[in-house]
């Protein structure tokens, strides 16, 4: 790169700081969104690993059981009788503290003497007297120095822990000082206690959560030998398969976020393209002189690209800082959603990885250079001294218009092909949305020209000569107006698309809730986070039945399971169907006979379960479940619509469940009331009757519905936030495009003012023009947004989560989106309009 | 960045006297759909180390001729050889190099790069060529001193008067030691006295360096210094003597007086 040229280029930008600032802003916002989301995703991923993985320590295998865990006698037999070593018993569960607004922590119960090979930090981190205290005194805990600081605890202090219906005052026996970063991080959300205390505090007397094994060369047994020793119902698993099952669930979620964040970057590219091409158009004469005195085409192009790269670097750096801040906010939303839906996260540390930052810088500069490519070509083709045929950007655009239109159509075809191909890839589906948007954008210049020609008489009729002038000036500057319309159109169509998708989703869920939640009052154990299998005694059902207004009840036992075959899923055992009219996607024996089939040992699959595991809607299907008496096949009686979880659910009859599983607990009771009863009053009475300790959550039908919708809305908070950010980037782009469009016409405006155009006429002229652009963008955005909604609903949602949703379009939302487009365009025209109104004709006429 | 390469050595000049030779050169522009021949099969030569003046009304083709010689416009047919090299058959990158090394141009509107200082403007052609900056800076400063602008070396062009800007442009045209200096109405945008100074400097510097100068103008101030004068118009370029020019001018004066008298009488 020639230094004199670069100096000249950078000085140009120093003289036009507003343009440079817009470019920097475009890059910064785009990079910030990408980096923010990446940080949130990476942090959530790391936090998730910290929350769960490190608990497994060095274990290569784990023995796991079903709902209740593993009887601790299994461990004693394995260790004392069979001599399996190294092996360690583990109990883990979620508890809630009364500090930091009821922070949830993971309680890990261990046997300090078997620990050393697995979690050395426990055995080595504290001295013997502390360990002794932990073993001999009940409810004593160890915690890391970091966590102790967070919770303001010292050795000897007490900490109230709740695990409904249990409540304990735990005493801090000692503080762990792990040296390793990863361990320190994992311990940030964890309390350690001994096995006996953990069993008591988690209500798991006689049971373990799992047994950790280290089956390497030095171990006493190998995997097949261990498997042979296990009683029916217990499984030997690798710890990775557990976490990867959970990861694969959160993958779709984070991919959706990444796609949205990339959208912000792409919209930012419009802004960059625009700023760079504006600066090129303004300097065309200068480039001509440079060419005349011997600058080569490559030198000119390199000049434009290098100055863009310099500004993009500044923008990317600013974007990184902004992105890190954004990451903090986004992580909270992401981890909240993961905790709500998939697994409880006890650690939420922001990890700013070098990878995220490098990605931001790379994408920021890369996208800028890509966006600057066309303007750089334009600069390159500047004729020496500008004396030869002046084939400007506009002429060239006219020239390549057919090719552009054909490419646009080609992209649309390619996009449809990508959608129609039978695959489950969500990334390809997003790519097709992108191609679709790009294709539509390429069709804008051709359609805009036709529309402007057609609407010229109307504009003339409405606004006189000024209207006709506005229409022609849009057609004359197609290369710039197209970009403005495309940016605005994409922004507004994203609003339409995402809002329609969320609206349809919500509408579907509301409908589904009203048909599925047929009971009047629901009693459940408090939610301590997804993935928890706590239950309560069946006696609860009798207590509820004893209320005079309750006519009948149904119970449900909900288990969160992870299996090699089906990944993360739920097993729900129900004593009766509580749905007033359960919506089925398919039934084997007809809807009316389905419940009978369940009683005879068949199961129902939720739609996401069937989709995820590729189980077709046809007779003869079955699923294999790990029962307490070993692996068993259950025939499938039907597939039902279910929006409560994308993990996938297997619905089984309660009696069948109790036959094959030794679990006796229930998770919730649904009560049907006599027609005359008032659900809210009954709920109130049951609440009083069942205790004030917060052991149970009693909700009326409406209350439960509201709670479900709360979680739904929380899940989409980040989507809406991201969409807003993309829209902000787009509007910045539109603003700058429209402003640049007007500002570069100062000569024309000067002539008009000199010829006698008044200030108000000038304002009307500019606002007519930008208003028409806004109207056209808005009109275009509606169908494009609706098509995007269709793709999101019927392809991406299905492929990400396996849900069939009903399209639900809200006309008011469409109208709002349209008005947003027009308003944004008018606002963008306002500044130049006012500015030119003030400028004296002689000044505007002066050559810049 | 040095993306353009010389292709071999410069062959010997065809005629010892002629630096530039044009043969059957035509250039036609399309004007609102109809072809307008500006140069029609023109054949002529420009001798080395001399001052050549192109006269003609505006639109007569003077600038077109300069653009063709300067390698910023291409002839439709015919050949132009400069120092024995056929510039009409050069590729775009060869032309770029030709402009950068062999041509110095002075424009009517100065055309300095507003975002470069005076010194940077002057050294730009050398810098584009990847030459040693310190050396070109020295010679550029020496030239700037000759035009009395060495104290403005670090100023931006916009702080200079029109005459000063054109003096910088002259220095820029010569600083890289070109074969041929082209000037398109160099005084056209300056007042009389300033124009005269600029013209004198242009001639002085060019002749001192032994360069060939081709000036397109419709001002007659330069005629005393011209070695050759050409009339450009109606698609042709014709060499004329200074006497012819003066005769032509006297005729014009007589005509004007007659017209004035007629107008007064009526």
CATH number at residue B139: 3.40.50.300
pLDDT for the residue B77: 94
Q: Is a pLDDT exceeding 50 seen at residue B2?
A: no
Give the closest-approach CA distance of B226 to chain A in angstroms.
Answer: 25
pLDDT value at residue A840: 62
Predicted local confidence at residue A657, as pLDDT: 94
Q: A293 and B100 in contact by Cβ < 8 A?
A: yes
Report the number of distinct structural domains present in chain A: 4
A19 CB neighbours in chain B (<8 A) are none
Q: Over the stretch A187-202, which tens digit does the pLDDT of each residue have?
A: 778 889 999 999 988 8
* CA distance from start to end of chain A: 27
pLDDT band at B3 (very low <50, low <70, confident <90, very high): very low
In a domain, A521, yes or no: no
A296 with B1: Cβ contact below 8 A = yes
Task: Please check whether residues A507 and A551 belong to one and the same domain.
Answer: no
The whole-number pLDDT of residue A391 equals 45
Residue B12 placed within a domain: no
| Domain interval for residue B84 | 18-265
Contacts of A295 in chain B (CB under 8 A): 96, 100, 124, 128
* Those residues with Cβ within 8 angstroms of residue A296's Cβ, 6 or more apart along the chain or in another chain: B1, B3, B4, B93, B96, B97, B100, B128
Query: For residue B129, what are the contacts with CB-CB under 8 A and spacing of at least 6?
Result: A294, B2, B100, B101, B176
Q: Are A726 and A684 in a shared domain? A: no
One domain for residues A544 and A571? yes
Q: Suggest the residue from B36, B118, B124, B174 to mutate for an interface test with chain A (most A CBs closer than 10 A).
A: B124
Is there a contact between A483 and A664 (Cβ–Cβ < 8 Å)?
no
Q: A7 vs B127: CB contact, 8 Å cut-off?
A: no
Confidence of residue B16 (pLDDT cuts 50, 70, 90): very low
Nearest CA in chain A to B64: A387
* Res A527: pLDDT: 63
Is A503 in a helix, a strand, or coil? helix
Question: Measured between alpha carbons, how far is B200 from B163 in angstroms, rounded to an integer?
Answer: 12
Asked if the structure places residue A427 within a domain, the reply is: no
On the question of pLDDT at A532 being above 70, the answer is no
Chain B residue whose CA is closest to A285: B111
Q: What residues of B are in contact with residue A294 (Cβ under 8 Å)?
A: 96-97, 99-101, 103, 125, 128-129
Question: What six digits make up the tokens of A242?
Answer: 């557990």
pLDDT at A683 over 80: yes
Q: Kindly tell me if the per-residue pLDDT of A671 is higher than 60.
A: yes
C-beta of residue A177 within 8 angstroms of C-beta of residue A165: no
Q: Above 90 in pLDDT, residue A382? A: no
Residue B102 confidence (pLDDT): 92
Residue owning tokens 């046997």: A111
Q: Are residues A456 and A543 in the same domain?
A: no
Which residues pair with residue B231 across a beta bridge? B55, B238
Chain-wide mean pLDDT for chain A? 83
Among the partner residues B73, B105, B113, nearest to A290 by beta-carbon distance = B113
**By C-alpha distance, which of A91, A53, A52, A84 is closest to A215?**
A84
Q: Which residue of A has its CA nearest to B30?
A: A389
Whether residue A43 is found in the same domain as residue A70: no
Best residue in B4, B62, B106, B128 for a mutation probing chain A (most A CBs within 10 Å): B128
8-state DSSP, A66: B
- Is A429 contained in some domain? no
What domain count does chain B have?
A: 1
Mean pLDDT for the stretch of residues A199-227: 85
What pLDDT is attached to residue A809? 93
Q: Please report, for residues A78, A215, A228, the alpha-carbon distance to residue A221 in angstroms, rounded to integers and kept in the order given.
A: 11, 7, 11
B3–A298 C-beta distance less than 8 A = yes
A11, A302, A383: residue with CB nearest B1: A302
**Cross-chain CB nearest to B125 (options A285, A286, A294):** A294
Does A249 lie in the same domain as A366? yes
Q: What residues of chain A have any CB closer than 8 angstroms to a CB in chain B?
A: 1-5, 7-9, 11-12, 15, 285-286, 289-299, 302, 383-385, 387-388
* Yes or no, beta carbons of B113 and A15 under 8 Å apart: no
pLDDT average, residue stretch A92-97:
84
Of A237, A269, A299, the one marking the end of a domain is A237
Q: Determine the Cα–Cα distance for residues A729 and A141; give it in Å rounded to an integer.
A: 50
Average pLDDT over residues A153-159: 90
Check if the beta carbon of residue A392 is closer than 8 Å to that of residue A382: no
Q: Pick A615 or A562 by higher pLDDT.
A: A615
- Residues in chain A closer than 8 A to B101 (CB atoms): 294
Closest residue of chain A to B119, computed from CA coordinates: A4
Q: Same domain for A417 and A510? A: yes
| Nearest-CA distance B92 → chain A (Å) | 9
Nearest residue on chain B to A8, alpha-carbon basis: B115
Residue B190 falls inside a structural domain: yes
Is residue B41 domain-resident?
A: yes
Gap from A383 CA to chain B (nearest CA, Å): 8
Structural domain includes residue A250: yes
Question: Is residue A651 helix, strand or coil?
Answer: strand
Q: Are residues A110 and A218 in the same domain?
A: yes
pLDDT number for residue A778 = 92
Is B164 a residue whose pLDDT tops 60? yes
Residue pLDDT, tens place only, A233-268: 788 888 777 777 777 767 767 777 777 777 777 777
- pLDDT given at position A549: 93
Which range, of A267-281, A398-412, A629-643, B57-71, averages the lowest pLDDT?
A: A267-281
Residue finishing a domain among A695, A720, A745: A695
Distance CA A563, CA B262 (A): 113
User: Which residue, among A431, A349, A326, A348, has the nearest Cα to A35 in the 3D structure?
Assistant: A326
Instruction: Please tell me whether residues A198 and A98 are part of one structural domain.
Output: yes
> How many Å apart are CA A577 and CA A594, to the nearest integer?
10
Amino acid A172: pLDDT? 92
Nearest CA in chain B to A382: B72
Question: What pLDDT was estimated at residue A388?
Answer: 40
User: Would you list which residues of chain B are within 8 Å, Cβ to Cβ, of chain A?
Assistant: 1, 3-4, 63, 67, 70-73, 92-93, 96-97, 99-101, 103, 105, 107, 111, 113-116, 120, 123-125, 127-129, 172
At A187 the pLDDT is 78
Q: Give residue A717's Cα distance to chain centre.
A: 9
Rounded to a whole number of angstroms, the distance from the CA of A310 to the nearest CA of chain B is: 17
Q: How many CB atoms lie within 10 A of CB B73?
A: 20
pLDDT tens for each residue of A311-341? 999 999 999 999 999 888 888 877 777 777 7
pTM summary value: 0.72
The answer on A721 and A683 residing in a single domain is no
Cβ atoms of A29 and A319 closer than 8 Å: yes
Q: What is the mean pLDDT of residues B227-232?
A: 92
Asked if residue A54 is part of any domain, the answer here is no
Would you say residue A55 has pLDDT above 70? Answer: no
A782 pLDDT higher than 80: yes
Q: Looking at the structure, do residues A19 and A69 belong to the same domain, yes or no? A: no
Residue A444 pLDDT exceeds 50: yes
Query: Is A293 in contact with B120 (Cβ distance < 8 A)?
Result: no
Q: Which residues in B lie closer than 8 A to residue A9 (C-beta atoms)?
A: 115
The answer as to whether A702 is a domain residue is no
**Pairing relationship of beta strands B180-184 and B103-106 according to DSSP bridges:** parallel
Pick the residue with more confidence: A500 or A269? A500
- Any domain includes B9: no
pLDDT mean over A761-790: 89
Predicted local distance difference test score (pLDDT) of residue A754: 67
Indicate the pLDDT class of residue A52, thresholds 50, 70 and 90.
Answer: low
Report d(CA A688, CA A696) in Å as an integer. 11
Q: Let me know if A422 is exposed, middle or buried by CB neighbors in 10 A (0-12, 13-18, 19+).
A: exposed
Kindly give, in sequence order, each residue whose CB lies less than 8 Å from that of residue A345, ignoring residues fewer than 6 positions away: A44, A47, A48, A51, A189, A335, A338, A339
Question: Of all helices (H) and strands (E), which one includes residue A379?
Answer: helix A354-380
Tell whether the model's pLDDT for residue A60 goes beyond 80.
Answer: yes
Question: Nearest Cβ partner of B116 from A4, A291, A296?
Answer: A4
Among partner residues A289, A291, A296, which is closest to B3 by beta-carbon distance? A296
Q: Does residue A89 share a domain with residue A30? A: no
- Tell me what the pLDDT averaged over chain B comes to: 86
B63:A387 CB<8 A = yes
Confidence bin at A529 (pLDDT 50/70/90): low
Q: Are B141 and B192 in contact (CB under 8 A)?
A: no
Whether the pLDDT of residue B101 is over 80: the answer is yes
A17 neighbourhood in chain B, CB within 8 Å? none
The domain of A291 spans 1-49+244-390
Note the pLDDT of residue A229.
86
B66-to-B70, B221, B245 alpha-carbon distances in Å: 6, 19, 21
Angle between helices A478-516 and A759-791 (to 10 degrees): 40
* Residue B192 pLDDT grade (very low, low, confident, very high; cuts 50, 70, 90): confident
Of A237, A260, A275, the last residue of a domain is A237
Return the pLDDT at B14. Answer: 40
Tell me which residue in B67, B99, B172 faces A387 most closely, judged by beta carbons.
B67
Chain A with chain B: Cβ pairs closer than 8 A:
96
């Amino acid at each position: 790169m020639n230094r004199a040229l670069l100096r000249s280029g950078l000085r140009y930008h120093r003289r036009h700081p507003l343009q440079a600032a817009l470019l920097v802003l475009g890059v910064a916002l785009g990079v910030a969104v990408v980096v923010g989301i990446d940080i949130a995703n990476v942090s959530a991923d790391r936090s998730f690993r910290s929350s769960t993985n490190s608990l497994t320590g060095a274990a290569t295998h784990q023995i796991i059981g079903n709902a209740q865990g593993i009887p601790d006698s299994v461990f004693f037999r394995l260790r004392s009788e069979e001599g399996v070593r190294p092996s360690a018993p583990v109990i883990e569960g979620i508890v809630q503290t009364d500090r930091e607004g009821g922070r949830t922590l993971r309680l890990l119960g261990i046997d300090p003497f078997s620990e050393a090979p697995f979690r050395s930090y426990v055995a080595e981190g504290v001295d013997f007297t502390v360990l002794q205290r932990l073993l001999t005194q009940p409810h004593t805990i160890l915690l890391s120095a970091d966590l102790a600081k967070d919770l303001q605890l010292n050795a000897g202090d007490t900490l109230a822990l709740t695990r409904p219906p249990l409540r304990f005052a735990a005493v801090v026996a000692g503080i762990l000082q792990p040296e390793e970063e990863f361990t320190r991080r994992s311990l940030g959300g964890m309390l350690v206690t001994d096995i006996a205390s953990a069993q008591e505090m988690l209500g798991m007397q006689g049971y373990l959560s799992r047994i950790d094994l280290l089956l390497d060369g030095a171990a006493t047994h190998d995997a097949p030998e261990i498997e042979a020793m296990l009683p029916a119902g217990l499984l030997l698993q690798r710890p990775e398969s557990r976490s990867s099952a959970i990861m694969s669930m959160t993958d779709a979620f984070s991919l959706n976020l990444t796609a949205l964040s990339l959208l912000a970057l792409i919209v930012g590219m419009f802004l960059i393209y625009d700023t760079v091409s504006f600066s090129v158009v303004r300097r065309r004469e200068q480039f001509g002189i440079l060419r005349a005195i011997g600058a080569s085409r490559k030198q000119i192009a390199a000049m434009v690209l290098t100055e863009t790269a310099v500004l993009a670097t500044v923008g990317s750096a600013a974007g990184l800082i902004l992105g890190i801040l954004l990451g903090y906010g986004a992580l909270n939303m992401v981890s909240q959603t993961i905790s709500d839906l998939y697994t409880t996260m006890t650690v939420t540390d922001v990890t700013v990885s070098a990878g995220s930052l490098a990605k931001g810088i790379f994408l920021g500069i890369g996208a800028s250079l890509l966006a600057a490519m066309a303007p750089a070509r334009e600069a390159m083709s500047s004729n020496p001294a500008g004396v030869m045929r002046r084939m400007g950007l506009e002429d060239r655009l006219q020239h390549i218009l057919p090719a552009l239109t054909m490419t646009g159509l080609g992209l649309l075809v390619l996009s449809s092909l990508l959608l129609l191909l039978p695959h489950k890839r969500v990334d390809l589906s997003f790519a097709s949305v992108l191609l679709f948007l790009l294709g539509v954008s390429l069709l804008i210049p051709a359609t805009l020209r036709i529309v402007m020609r057609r609407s010229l008489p109307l504009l003339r009729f409405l606004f006189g000569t000024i209207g006709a002038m506005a229409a022609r000036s849009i057609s004359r500057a197609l290369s710039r107006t197209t970009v403005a319309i495309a940016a605005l159109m994409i922004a507004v169509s994203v609003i339409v698309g995402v809002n329609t998708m969320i609206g349809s989703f919500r509408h579907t869920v509301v409908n589904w809730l009203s048909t599925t939640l047929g009971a009047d009052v629901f009693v459940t154990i408090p939610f301590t986070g997804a993935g928890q299998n706590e239950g309560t005694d069946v006696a609860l059902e009798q207590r509820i039945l004893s209320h005079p207004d309750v006519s009948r009840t149904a119970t449900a036992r909900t288990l969160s399971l992870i299996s090699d075959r089906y990944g993360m899923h739920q097993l729900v055992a129900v004593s009766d169907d509580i749905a007033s009219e359960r919506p089925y996607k398919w039934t084997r024996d007809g809807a009316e006979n389905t419940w009978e089939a369940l009683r005879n040992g068949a199961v129902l699959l939720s739609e996401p379960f069937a989709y995820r595991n590729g189980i077709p809607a046809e007779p003869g299907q079955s699923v294999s479940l790990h029962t307490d008496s070993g692996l068993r096949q259950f025939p499938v009686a039907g597939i039902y619509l279910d929006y409560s979880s994308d993990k996938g659910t297997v619905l089984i009859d309660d009696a069948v469940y109790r036959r094959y599983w030794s679990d006796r607990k229930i998770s919730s009771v649904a009560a049907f009331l006599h027609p005359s009863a008032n659900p809210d009053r009954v709920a109130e009475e049951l609440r009083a009757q069942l205790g004030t300790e917060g052991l149970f959550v009693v909700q009326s039908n409406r209350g439960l519905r509201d709670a479900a919708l709360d979680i739904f809305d929380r899940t989409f908070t980040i989507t809406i936030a991201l969409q807003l950010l993309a829209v902000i980037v787009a509007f910045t782009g539109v603003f700058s495009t429209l402003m640049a469009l007007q500002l570069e016409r100062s000569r024309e405006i000067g002539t008009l003012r000199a010829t006698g155009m008044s200030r108000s006429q000038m304002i009307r002229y500019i606002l007519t023009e930008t208003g028409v652009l806004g109207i056209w963008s808005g009109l275009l955005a509606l169908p494009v947004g609706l098509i995007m909604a269709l793709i999101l609903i019927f392809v991406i949602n299905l492929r990400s989560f396996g849900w069939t949703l009903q399209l639900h379009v809200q006309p008011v939302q469409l109208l709002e989106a349209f008005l947003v487009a027009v308003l944004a365009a008018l606002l963008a025209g306002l500044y130049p309009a006012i500015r030119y109104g003030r400028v004296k004709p002689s000044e505007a006429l002066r050559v810049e | 960045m040095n993306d353009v390469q010389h292709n071999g050595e410069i062959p010997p000049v065809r005629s010892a006297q002629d630096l530039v030779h044009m043969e059957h050169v035509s250039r036609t522009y399309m004007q609102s759909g109809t072809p307008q021949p500006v140069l029609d099969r023109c054949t002529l030569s420009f001798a080395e180390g001399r001052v050549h003046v192109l006269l003609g009304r505006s639109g007569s083709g003077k600038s077109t001729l300069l653009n063709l010689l300067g390698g910023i416009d291409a002839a439709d047919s015919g050949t132009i050889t400069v120092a024995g090299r056929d510039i009409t058959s050069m590729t775009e990158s060869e032309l770029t190099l030709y402009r950068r090394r062999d041509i110095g141009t002075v424009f009517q509107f100065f055309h300095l790069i507003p975002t470069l200082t005076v010194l940077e403007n002057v050294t730009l052609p050398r810098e584009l060529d990847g030459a040693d900056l310190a050396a070109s800076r020295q010679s550029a400063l020496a030239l700037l001193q000759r035009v009395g602008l060495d104290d403005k070396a670090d100023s931006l062009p916009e702080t200079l008067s029109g005459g000063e800007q054109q003096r910088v442009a002259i220095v820029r045209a010569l600083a890289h030691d070109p074969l041929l200096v082209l000037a398109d109405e160099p005084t056209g945008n300056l007042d009389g006295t300033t124009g005269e100074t600029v013209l004198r400097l242009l001639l002085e510097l060019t002749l001192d360096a032994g360069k060939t100068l081709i000036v397109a103008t419709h001002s007659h101030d330069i005629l005393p210094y011209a070695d050759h004068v050409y009339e450009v118009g109606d698609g042709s370029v014709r060499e004329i003597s200074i006497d012819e020019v003066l005769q032509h001018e006297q005729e014009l004066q007589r005509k004007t007086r007659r017209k004035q008298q007629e107008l007064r009488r009526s």
